[in-house]
Amino acid sequence: MLNPTFGDVQDAADRVTGVVRPLTVIAADRDLVPGAQAYLALEFLQHTGSFKARAAVNLVAALVHSRAVPSAGIVAATGRNADLGFAWAAQQFGVPATVFLAADAPEAKVARLRGYGAEVRVGGAGQADAQRAARTFMARTGAIDAYTHDDLLTSAGAGTILLELAAAVPDLDTVVVAVGVGGMFSGITAAADRLGIRVVGAEPDGSRALHAALAAGAVLEVDIDSVAADSLGALRICGAALA
């Protein structure tokens, strides 16, 4: 995986502007960080409820602009928030999207994906079975795996949050970022490095893929414990996040 650069994030900003919702930033109560002014970036107000919409739009827009979208479109099979982002982004650009989910996927998630115009195929005892079905579908149709096709584009798309945050808070000196797999973390870091902003990565005690990778000096798989949402928790960090 290539590491996103500041230029990649700027290019992403050009693609996502006018498609995604602008970042909403509010001042936090003074007692949140005593002795300093803190702000909250409300990206949960984004389309699909997370930053994944930015990542997905940057990828799909780049594919459309380069005329690299196959007739079968894109495929998503993560079982996570990324599926919603890719389905929504595909709808914005008129690109077919097929999502594969395990049989125990929440009905609300299935309904929401279909509401975004995606074809949803449900089956298999777990998400690993759904991913195998997705790979078979891609081999047969030539559809693109949206999640793995270009990590640089998705990371840079998520990194656009930092550009908007820095514009809203001109004296911003530190940003705290939830890590997860690390795509957003690496995209935001690419922008923050150029702007002279410190980045602090945050992980739950029960999902410490970045901490483990830093300790080992390499990406490795970790156990996940006590993560309350089915769409959260990363078994491993991406290479760009470790870099």
- pLDDT for position 224: 81
CA distance 99 to 121: 6
- pLDDT for position 64: 97
Low-confidence ranges of the chain (pLDDT < 50): none
- pLDDT for position 117: 97
- pLDDT for position 225: 79
112: CB partners within 8 A, 6+ apart: 84
- pLDDT for position 115: 97
pLDDT digits 0-9 by tens, 52-70: 999 999 999 999 999 999 9
pLDDT digits 0-9 by tens, 185-215: 999 999 999 999 999 999 988 889 999 999 9
Q: Residue with structure tokens 């809203």?
A: 168
Q: Which of 74, 43, 47, 198 has its CA nearest to residue 142?
A: 74
Interior CA angle at 94 toward 88 and 100, to 5°?
Answer: 50
